[in-house]
Protein backbone atom coordinates (compact mmCIF):
# COMPACT_ATOMS: atom_id res chain seq x y z
CA UNK A 1 0.00 0.00 0.00
CA UNK A 2 1.45 3.38 -0.96
CA UNK A 3 1.66 6.39 1.33
CA UNK A 4 -0.66 8.46 -0.81
CA UNK A 5 -3.22 5.68 -0.68
CA UNK A 6 -3.00 5.63 3.09
CA UNK A 7 -3.44 9.33 3.38
CA UNK A 8 -6.36 9.33 1.02
CA UNK A 9 -7.93 6.51 2.91
CA UNK A 10 -7.72 8.30 6.22
CA UNK A 11 -9.14 11.37 4.58
CA UNK A 12 -12.08 9.33 3.36
CA UNK A 13 -12.51 7.90 6.84
CA UNK A 14 -12.50 11.39 8.31
CA UNK A 15 -15.03 12.65 5.83
CA UNK A 16 -17.21 9.62 6.51
CA UNK A 17 -16.95 10.18 10.23
CA UNK A 18 -17.77 13.84 9.78
CA UNK A 19 -20.77 13.05 7.65
CA UNK A 20 -22.00 10.56 10.22
CA UNK A 21 -21.55 13.10 12.97
CA UNK A 22 -23.50 15.74 11.14
CA UNK A 23 -26.17 13.11 10.60
CA UNK A 24 -26.22 12.29 14.30
CA UNK A 25 -26.35 15.93 15.23
CA UNK A 26 -29.21 16.52 12.84
CA UNK A 27 -31.18 13.81 14.62
CA UNK A 28 -30.70 15.40 18.00
CA UNK A 29 -31.78 18.92 17.24
CA UNK A 30 -34.54 19.81 19.69
CA UNK A 31 -37.55 21.87 18.76
CA UNK A 32 -38.31 24.74 21.06
CA UNK A 33 -41.99 25.25 20.43
CA UNK A 34 -44.62 22.79 21.50
CA UNK A 35 -47.51 22.52 19.13
CA UNK A 36 -50.74 23.58 20.79
CA UNK A 37 -53.05 20.66 21.30
CA UNK A 38 -55.47 20.22 18.44
CA UNK A 39 -59.22 20.60 18.88
CA UNK A 40 -59.99 18.39 21.84
CA UNK A 41 -63.42 17.73 23.37
CA UNK A 42 -63.96 19.30 26.80
CA UNK A 43 -63.38 16.01 28.61
CA UNK A 44 -60.90 14.60 26.14
CA UNK A 45 -61.30 11.22 24.49
CA UNK A 46 -61.76 7.88 26.23
CA UNK A 47 -61.31 5.32 23.50
CA UNK A 48 -59.11 2.64 25.01
CA UNK A 49 -55.74 4.21 24.18
CA UNK A 50 -52.70 3.19 26.21
CA UNK A 51 -51.13 6.26 27.80
CA UNK A 52 -47.74 6.54 29.48
CA UNK A 53 -47.08 8.63 32.58
CA UNK A 54 -43.80 9.36 34.37
CA UNK A 55 -43.42 10.65 37.91
CA UNK A 56 -40.67 10.80 40.49
CA UNK A 57 -40.40 8.49 43.48
CA UNK A 58 -41.45 10.88 46.30
CA UNK A 59 -44.99 11.03 44.85
CA UNK A 60 -45.24 7.36 44.01
CA UNK A 61 -48.05 6.67 46.47
CA UNK A 62 -50.38 9.38 45.18
CA UNK A 63 -49.55 8.66 41.53
CA UNK A 64 -50.33 4.96 41.98
CA UNK A 65 -53.67 5.69 43.62
CA UNK A 66 -54.72 8.12 40.89
CA UNK A 67 -53.64 5.84 38.05
CA UNK A 68 -55.28 2.77 39.58
CA UNK A 69 -58.60 4.59 39.99
CA UNK A 70 -58.46 6.04 36.46
CA UNK A 71 -57.69 2.67 34.92
CA UNK A 72 -60.56 1.10 36.86
CA UNK A 73 -63.10 3.63 35.60
CA UNK A 74 -61.95 4.36 32.03
CA UNK A 75 -61.30 2.59 28.75
CA UNK A 76 -57.96 4.36 28.39
CA UNK A 77 -55.21 2.69 30.38
CA UNK A 78 -52.36 4.64 31.92
CA UNK A 79 -49.03 2.91 32.39
CA UNK A 80 -47.11 4.49 35.26
CA UNK A 81 -43.30 4.69 35.43
CA UNK A 82 -41.77 5.80 38.73
CA UNK A 83 -38.23 7.19 38.44
CA UNK A 84 -35.78 7.72 41.35
CA UNK A 85 -35.78 11.37 42.36
CA UNK A 86 -32.12 12.02 41.53
CA UNK A 87 -32.35 10.53 38.04
CA UNK A 88 -35.57 12.17 36.98
CA UNK A 89 -34.18 15.30 35.34
CA UNK A 90 -31.55 13.34 33.42
CA UNK A 91 -34.13 10.82 32.23
CA UNK A 92 -36.53 13.53 31.08
CA UNK A 93 -33.66 15.38 29.39
CA UNK A 94 -32.51 12.33 27.49
CA UNK A 95 -36.06 11.51 26.40
CA UNK A 96 -36.74 15.12 25.38
CA UNK A 97 -33.66 15.11 23.16
CA UNK A 98 -34.66 11.90 21.39
CA UNK A 99 -38.37 12.64 21.11
CA UNK A 100 -39.18 9.84 23.54
CA UNK A 101 -41.16 11.60 26.26
CA UNK A 102 -44.24 9.81 27.59
CA UNK A 103 -47.75 11.17 26.94
CA UNK A 104 -47.96 12.69 30.40
CA UNK A 105 -45.25 13.56 32.85
CA UNK A 106 -45.10 15.24 36.19
CA UNK A 107 -42.37 17.63 37.26
CA UNK A 108 -41.30 19.16 40.53
CA UNK A 109 -43.16 22.44 40.49
CA UNK A 110 -39.97 24.47 40.95
CA UNK A 111 -38.57 23.04 37.69
CA UNK A 112 -41.77 23.56 35.75
CA UNK A 113 -41.08 27.17 34.59
CA UNK A 114 -37.80 26.08 33.02
CA UNK A 115 -39.24 22.95 31.40
CA UNK A 116 -42.21 24.84 30.00
CA UNK A 117 -39.85 27.43 28.53
CA UNK A 118 -37.85 24.60 26.92
CA UNK A 119 -41.04 23.52 25.18
CA UNK A 120 -41.42 20.14 26.88
CA UNK A 121 -45.17 20.56 27.51
CA UNK A 122 -47.99 21.21 25.07
CA UNK A 123 -50.07 24.34 25.43
CA UNK A 124 -53.38 23.38 27.07
CA UNK A 125 -54.71 26.89 27.78
CA UNK A 126 -57.89 26.27 25.78
CA UNK A 127 -58.74 23.15 27.72
CA UNK A 128 -57.93 24.67 31.12
CA UNK A 129 -59.97 27.78 30.26
CA UNK A 130 -62.88 25.46 29.50
CA UNK A 131 -62.97 24.12 33.07
CA UNK A 132 -65.89 25.64 34.95
CA UNK A 133 -63.89 25.57 38.19
CA UNK A 134 -60.69 27.04 36.78
CA UNK A 135 -60.64 29.82 39.40
CA UNK A 136 -60.47 27.28 42.22
CA UNK A 137 -57.33 25.51 40.92
CA UNK A 138 -54.17 26.18 42.93
CA UNK A 139 -52.76 29.46 41.62
CA UNK A 140 -49.09 28.76 42.35
CA UNK A 141 -49.04 25.63 40.21
CA UNK A 142 -50.95 27.25 37.35
CA UNK A 143 -48.60 30.25 37.44
CA UNK A 144 -45.50 28.06 37.39
CA UNK A 145 -46.75 26.40 34.19
CA UNK A 146 -47.70 29.67 32.49
CA UNK A 147 -45.27 30.94 29.86
CA UNK A 148 -45.98 33.87 27.54
CA UNK A 149 -49.59 33.84 28.73
CA UNK A 150 -50.13 30.18 27.82
CA UNK A 151 -50.91 27.52 30.42
CA UNK A 152 -49.19 24.14 30.16
CA UNK A 153 -49.48 22.46 33.54
CA UNK A 154 -52.07 21.39 36.13
CA UNK A 155 -51.36 20.47 39.75
CA UNK A 156 -50.72 16.71 39.98
CA UNK A 157 -50.03 16.39 43.69
CA UNK A 158 -49.75 19.31 46.08
CA UNK A 159 -47.17 18.92 48.78
CA UNK A 160 -47.16 21.49 51.53
CA UNK A 161 -44.56 22.01 54.22
CA UNK A 162 -46.20 22.11 57.64
CA UNK A 163 -45.09 22.10 61.25
CA UNK A 164 -45.74 18.67 62.73
CA UNK A 165 -45.33 17.84 66.39
CA UNK A 166 -45.37 14.57 68.28
CA UNK A 167 -48.12 14.99 70.89
CA UNK A 168 -46.85 12.17 73.06
CA UNK A 169 -43.38 13.71 73.37
CA UNK A 170 -44.95 17.13 73.98
CA UNK A 171 -46.93 15.73 76.89
CA UNK A 172 -43.87 14.01 78.33
CA UNK A 173 -41.90 17.26 78.17
CA UNK A 174 -44.65 19.10 80.02
CA UNK A 175 -45.77 21.03 76.93
CA UNK A 176 -49.39 21.45 75.90
CA UNK A 177 -49.95 18.93 73.09
CA UNK A 178 -52.69 21.09 71.60
CA UNK A 179 -50.77 24.37 71.44
CA UNK A 180 -48.13 24.61 68.73
CA UNK A 181 -45.27 27.11 69.06
CA UNK A 182 -46.40 30.52 67.75
CA UNK A 183 -43.04 31.71 66.43
CA UNK A 184 -39.53 30.45 65.72
CA UNK A 185 -38.22 31.29 69.22
CA UNK A 186 -40.97 29.17 70.78
CA UNK A 187 -40.27 26.44 68.22
CA UNK A 188 -36.64 26.38 69.38
CA UNK A 189 -37.60 26.47 73.06
CA UNK A 190 -39.98 23.51 72.63
CA UNK A 191 -37.32 21.54 70.77
CA UNK A 192 -34.84 22.13 73.60
CA UNK A 193 -37.42 21.01 76.18
CA UNK A 194 -37.95 17.75 74.33
CA UNK A 195 -34.17 17.35 74.06
CA UNK A 196 -33.97 17.86 77.83
CA UNK A 197 -36.05 14.71 78.36
CA UNK A 198 -32.76 12.90 77.72
CA UNK A 199 -34.51 9.98 76.06
CA UNK A 200 -32.19 7.66 74.18
CA UNK A 201 -32.18 8.47 70.48
CA UNK A 202 -34.88 11.15 70.80
CA UNK A 203 -34.10 14.64 69.54
CA UNK A 204 -35.90 17.97 69.68
CA UNK A 205 -36.06 18.57 65.97
CA UNK A 206 -34.55 17.52 62.63
CA UNK A 207 -33.96 18.96 59.17
CA UNK A 208 -31.95 18.26 56.01
CA UNK A 209 -28.89 20.48 56.24
CA UNK A 210 -27.34 19.02 53.08
CA UNK A 211 -30.53 19.00 51.06
CA UNK A 212 -31.29 22.20 49.17
CA UNK A 213 -34.80 21.03 48.31
CA UNK A 214 -35.69 20.23 51.93
CA UNK A 215 -34.32 23.59 53.05
CA UNK A 216 -36.28 25.72 50.59
CA UNK A 217 -39.36 23.64 51.35
CA UNK A 218 -39.19 24.11 55.10
CA UNK A 219 -37.29 27.40 55.66
CA UNK A 220 -38.72 29.71 52.98
CA UNK A 221 -42.13 29.71 54.77
CA UNK A 222 -40.54 31.27 57.88
CA UNK A 223 -39.53 34.21 55.66
CA UNK A 224 -42.97 34.45 54.04
CA UNK A 225 -44.67 34.27 57.45
CA UNK A 226 -42.89 37.54 58.22
CA UNK A 227 -44.32 39.13 55.09
CA UNK A 228 -40.92 39.10 53.35
CA UNK A 229 -39.94 37.62 49.99
CA UNK A 230 -37.24 35.07 49.14
CA UNK A 231 -36.54 36.40 45.65
CA UNK A 232 -37.50 39.42 43.54
CA UNK A 233 -40.60 39.04 41.36
CA UNK A 234 -38.93 37.66 38.25
CA UNK A 235 -36.70 35.24 40.14
CA UNK A 236 -33.38 36.83 39.22
CA UNK A 237 -32.25 38.09 42.62
CA UNK A 238 -32.02 36.20 45.90
CA UNK A 239 -33.28 38.01 48.99
CA UNK A 240 -32.13 35.36 51.44
CA UNK A 241 -29.89 37.80 53.30
CA UNK A 242 -32.75 39.87 54.75
CA UNK A 243 -32.91 40.42 58.51
CA UNK A 244 -35.77 37.93 58.65
CA UNK A 245 -33.72 35.28 56.84
CA UNK A 246 -30.75 35.95 59.14
CA UNK A 247 -33.03 35.52 62.16
CA UNK A 248 -34.07 32.13 60.75
CA UNK A 249 -30.42 31.07 60.35
CA UNK A 250 -29.42 32.23 63.82
CA UNK A 251 -32.35 30.36 65.40
CA UNK A 252 -31.18 27.16 63.69
CA UNK A 253 -27.51 27.81 64.46
CA UNK A 254 -28.40 28.15 68.14
CA UNK A 255 -30.53 24.98 67.99
CA UNK A 256 -27.66 23.10 66.34
CA UNK A 257 -25.14 24.27 68.96
CA UNK A 258 -27.48 23.31 71.77
CA UNK A 259 -27.55 19.72 70.49
CA UNK A 260 -31.34 19.65 70.03
CA UNK A 261 -31.12 18.77 66.34
CA UNK A 262 -30.88 15.15 65.18
CA UNK A 263 -27.11 14.87 64.47
CA UNK A 264 -27.51 13.12 61.14
CA UNK A 265 -29.33 16.25 59.92
CA UNK A 266 -25.89 17.69 59.26
CA UNK A 267 -25.22 15.37 56.31
CA UNK A 268 -28.83 14.63 55.41
CA UNK A 269 -29.07 14.92 51.64
CA UNK A 270 -32.80 14.28 51.44
CA UNK A 271 -33.22 10.53 51.20
CA UNK A 272 -34.07 10.03 54.88
CA UNK A 273 -34.80 13.52 56.14
CA UNK A 274 -38.28 12.66 57.43
CA UNK A 275 -37.45 9.23 58.86
CA UNK A 276 -36.63 10.38 62.40
CA UNK A 277 -40.01 12.05 62.91
CA UNK A 278 -41.95 9.19 61.32
CA UNK A 279 -40.27 6.79 63.75
CA UNK A 280 -41.38 8.93 66.70
CA UNK A 281 -37.79 9.94 67.52
CA UNK A 282 -38.19 13.69 66.88
CA UNK A 283 -40.29 16.13 68.90
CA UNK A 284 -41.34 18.62 66.25
CA UNK A 285 -40.25 19.48 62.75
CA UNK A 286 -41.16 21.18 59.48
CA UNK A 287 -42.37 18.27 57.44
CA UNK A 288 -44.24 17.41 54.21
CA UNK A 289 -48.04 17.28 54.50
CA UNK A 290 -48.12 14.37 52.02
CA UNK A 291 -46.72 12.19 54.81
CA UNK A 292 -49.70 12.82 57.12
CA UNK A 293 -51.29 9.53 56.10
CA UNK A 294 -48.10 7.59 56.80
CA UNK A 295 -47.41 9.12 60.24
CA UNK A 296 -48.33 6.29 62.58
CA UNK A 297 -48.93 8.27 65.79
CA UNK A 298 -50.92 11.27 66.98
CA UNK A 299 -49.25 14.30 65.44
CA UNK A 300 -50.37 17.90 65.56
CA UNK A 301 -50.26 20.00 62.39
CA UNK A 302 -49.94 23.76 61.91
CA UNK A 303 -48.47 26.24 59.44
CA UNK A 304 -44.77 27.13 59.63
CA UNK A 305 -44.20 30.22 61.80
CA UNK A 306 -41.74 33.05 61.20
CA UNK A 307 -39.41 34.79 63.67
CA UNK A 308 -42.31 37.07 64.70
CA UNK A 309 -45.17 34.60 64.40
CA UNK A 310 -47.52 34.36 61.46
CA UNK A 311 -47.66 31.21 59.39
CA UNK A 312 -47.03 30.11 55.84
CA UNK A 313 -46.22 27.09 53.71
CA UNK A 314 -44.29 26.17 50.60
CA UNK A 315 -46.80 24.99 48.01
CA UNK A 316 -44.65 22.32 46.40
CA UNK A 317 -45.33 18.99 44.83
CA UNK A 318 -45.57 18.25 41.14
CA UNK A 319 -47.32 19.77 38.17
CA UNK A 320 -48.32 17.59 35.27
CA UNK A 321 -48.83 18.28 31.58
CA UNK A 322 -49.02 16.69 28.15
CA UNK A 323 -45.56 16.21 26.63
CA UNK A 324 -44.45 17.72 23.35
CA UNK A 325 -43.95 14.19 21.99
CA UNK A 326 -47.43 12.88 22.79
CA UNK A 327 -49.54 11.78 19.83
CA UNK A 328 -52.50 11.20 22.16
CA UNK A 329 -53.22 14.70 23.41
CA UNK A 330 -57.00 14.18 23.44
CA UNK A 331 -56.71 10.99 25.50
CA UNK A 332 -54.09 12.55 27.80
CA UNK A 333 -56.44 15.48 28.40
CA UNK A 334 -59.12 12.97 29.37
CA UNK A 335 -56.83 11.83 32.21
CA UNK A 336 -56.01 15.41 33.24
CA UNK A 337 -59.63 16.58 33.27
CA UNK A 338 -60.63 13.51 35.30
CA UNK A 339 -57.72 14.20 37.67
CA UNK A 340 -59.11 17.67 38.39
CA UNK A 341 -62.66 16.36 38.90
CA UNK A 342 -64.28 15.85 42.29
CA UNK A 343 -64.11 12.08 41.80
CA UNK A 344 -60.33 12.17 41.77
CA UNK A 345 -59.66 15.12 44.09
CA UNK A 346 -61.98 13.94 46.86
CA UNK A 347 -62.52 10.26 46.03
CA UNK A 348 -58.79 9.53 45.69
CA UNK A 349 -56.61 12.30 47.11
CA UNK A 350 -58.68 13.56 50.06
CA UNK A 351 -59.57 9.99 50.95
CA UNK A 352 -55.84 9.30 51.25
CA UNK A 353 -55.38 12.40 53.50
CA UNK A 354 -53.73 14.31 50.68
CA UNK A 355 -54.26 17.96 49.90
CA UNK A 356 -56.76 18.69 47.16
CA UNK A 357 -55.68 21.18 44.50
CA UNK A 358 -59.08 22.89 44.23
CA UNK A 359 -60.13 25.37 46.92
CA UNK A 360 -63.84 24.63 46.40
CA UNK A 361 -63.22 21.04 47.53
CA UNK A 362 -61.08 21.97 50.55
CA UNK A 363 -63.91 21.00 52.89
CA UNK A 364 -65.21 17.55 52.11
CA UNK A 365 -66.44 14.38 53.80
CA UNK A 366 -62.88 13.35 54.73
CA UNK A 367 -61.74 16.67 56.20
CA UNK A 368 -64.77 16.53 58.44
CA UNK A 369 -63.23 13.45 60.08
CA UNK A 370 -59.72 14.89 60.42
CA UNK A 371 -59.54 18.58 61.33
CA UNK A 372 -55.81 18.55 60.56
CA UNK A 373 -56.72 18.38 56.89
CA UNK A 374 -58.76 21.56 57.28
CA UNK A 375 -55.70 23.26 58.78
CA UNK A 376 -53.51 22.10 55.90
CA UNK A 377 -56.02 23.18 53.27
CA UNK A 378 -56.43 26.56 54.96
CA UNK A 379 -52.67 27.23 55.16
CA UNK A 380 -52.38 26.21 51.51
CA UNK A 381 -54.15 29.44 50.65
CA UNK A 382 -51.54 31.47 52.56
CA UNK A 383 -48.60 29.68 50.99
CA UNK A 384 -46.37 30.47 48.09
CA UNK A 385 -44.49 28.82 45.22
CA UNK A 386 -41.28 30.56 44.17
CA UNK A 387 -40.76 30.87 40.42
CA UNK A 388 -37.29 31.15 38.88
CA UNK A 389 -35.83 29.70 35.70
CA UNK A 390 -32.60 28.61 37.35
CA UNK A 391 -34.20 27.45 40.60
CA UNK A 392 -32.72 23.96 40.47
CA UNK A 393 -29.16 25.10 39.99
CA UNK A 394 -29.38 27.90 42.55
CA UNK A 395 -31.23 26.05 45.32
CA UNK A 396 -32.02 22.36 44.79
CA UNK A 397 -28.87 20.93 43.23
CA UNK A 398 -26.40 19.07 45.47
CA UNK A 399 -23.79 21.54 46.72
CA UNK A 400 -25.77 24.52 45.40
CA UNK A 401 -24.85 28.03 46.63
CA UNK A 402 -28.02 27.93 48.77
CA UNK A 403 -26.83 24.78 50.54
CA UNK A 404 -23.46 26.48 51.01
CA UNK A 405 -25.15 29.56 52.50
CA UNK A 406 -27.17 27.56 55.03
CA UNK A 407 -24.23 25.38 56.06
CA UNK A 408 -21.92 28.38 56.43
CA UNK A 409 -24.53 30.20 58.54
CA UNK A 410 -25.78 27.31 60.67
CA UNK A 411 -22.93 24.82 60.98
CA UNK A 412 -19.75 26.76 60.33
CA UNK A 413 -20.78 30.11 61.80
CA UNK A 414 -18.83 31.92 59.11
CA UNK A 415 -20.80 35.16 58.88
CA UNK A 416 -20.75 34.97 55.09
CA UNK A 417 -24.50 35.23 54.44
CA UNK A 418 -24.24 38.31 52.22
CA UNK A 419 -21.47 36.92 50.02
CA UNK A 420 -23.17 33.51 49.78
CA UNK A 421 -26.43 35.21 48.88
CA UNK A 422 -24.65 37.04 46.04
CA UNK A 423 -23.50 33.66 44.73
CA UNK A 424 -27.16 32.54 44.55
CA UNK A 425 -28.10 35.72 42.70
CA UNK A 426 -25.26 35.18 40.25
CA UNK A 427 -26.71 31.83 39.24
CA UNK A 428 -30.28 33.12 39.13
CA UNK A 429 -29.13 35.76 36.64
CA UNK A 430 -27.41 33.35 34.22
Q: How far apart are CA 86 and CA 394, in angstroms?
A: 16
Q: How far apart are CA 59 and CA 159, in angstroms?
A: 9
Query: 33-47 burial by CB neighbour count: b if 16+ within 10 A, else e?
Result: ebeebeebeeebbbe
Binding of another protein at residue 32 (CB under 8 A)?
yes
Binding of another protein at residue 407 (CB under 8 A)?
yes
Half-sphere exposure of 212 toward its Cβ, with a 13 Å CA cutoff? Answer: 18
Show the site string, 64-103: x = touches another protein by CB under 8 A, - = not: ----------------------x--xx-xx--xx------
Contact residue for another protein among 8, 11, 15, 18 (CB under 8 A): 18
Query: Of 42 and 90, which has the nearer Cβ to another protein?
Result: 90
Contact residue for another protein among 54, 70, 115, 314 (CB under 8 A): 115
Query: Of 41 and 398, which has the nearer Cβ to another protein?
Result: 398
Q: Which of 154, 281, 278, 305 is nearest to 221 (CA)?
A: 305
To which H or E segment does residue 144 belong? helix 139-144
Contact residue for another protein among 136, 229, 236, 264 (CB under 8 A): 264
Binding of another protein at residue 257 (CB under 8 A)?
no
Binding of another protein at residue 38 (CB under 8 A)?
no
Binding of another protein at residue 3 (CB under 8 A)?
yes
Output the CA–CA distances (angstroms, integers) from residue 273 to 19, 58, 77, 293, 294, in the order listed. 50, 12, 35, 17, 15
- CA dihedral (262, 266, 267, 269) in degrees, to 10, reads 80
Binding of another protein at residue 392 (CB under 8 A)?
yes
Alpha helices in 314-400 (DSSP H): 329-340, 342-344, 371-382, 391
Minimum distance between the CB of residue 28 and another protein, rounded to whole angstroms? 6
Binding region for another protein (CB under 8 A) out of 70-78, 112-120, 159-167, 240-248? 112-120
Output the CA–CA distances (angstroms, integers) from residue 417 to 225, 252, 330, in the order listed. 20, 14, 50
Query: Of 274 and 393, which has the nearer Cβ to another protein?
Result: 393
SS3 180: coil
Sign of CA pseudo-dihedral 318, 320, 326, 328: positive
Minimum distance between the CB of residue 331 and another protein, rounded to whole angstroms? 24
- Cβ distance 93 to 292 under 8 Å? no
Contact residue for another protein among 312, 404, 421, 425 (CB under 8 A): 404
Contact residue for another protein among 272, 294, 365, 429 (CB under 8 A): 272
Binding of another protein at residue 6 (CB under 8 A)?
yes
Residues near another protein (CB under 8 A) are 1-3, 6, 13, 17-18, 20-21, 24-25, 28-32, 86, 89-90, 92-93, 96-97, 114-115, 118-120, 201, 210, 263-264, 266-267, 269, 272, 275, 392-393, 396-401, 403-404, 407, 412, 423
Amino acid sequence: MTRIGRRRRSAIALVAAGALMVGLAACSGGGNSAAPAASIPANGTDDGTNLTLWTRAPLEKQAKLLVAEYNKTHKNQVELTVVPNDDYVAKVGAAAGSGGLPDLFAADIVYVPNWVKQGLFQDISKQIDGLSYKDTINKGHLAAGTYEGKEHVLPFVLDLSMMFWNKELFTEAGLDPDTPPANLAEFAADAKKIQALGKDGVYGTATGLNCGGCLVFTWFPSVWADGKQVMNDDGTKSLMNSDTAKAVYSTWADLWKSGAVLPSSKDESGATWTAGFTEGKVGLMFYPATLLSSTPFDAGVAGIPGPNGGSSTFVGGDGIGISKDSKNAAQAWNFLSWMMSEDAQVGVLAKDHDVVSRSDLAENQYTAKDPRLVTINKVAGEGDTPVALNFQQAFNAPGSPWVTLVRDAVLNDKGTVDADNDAITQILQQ
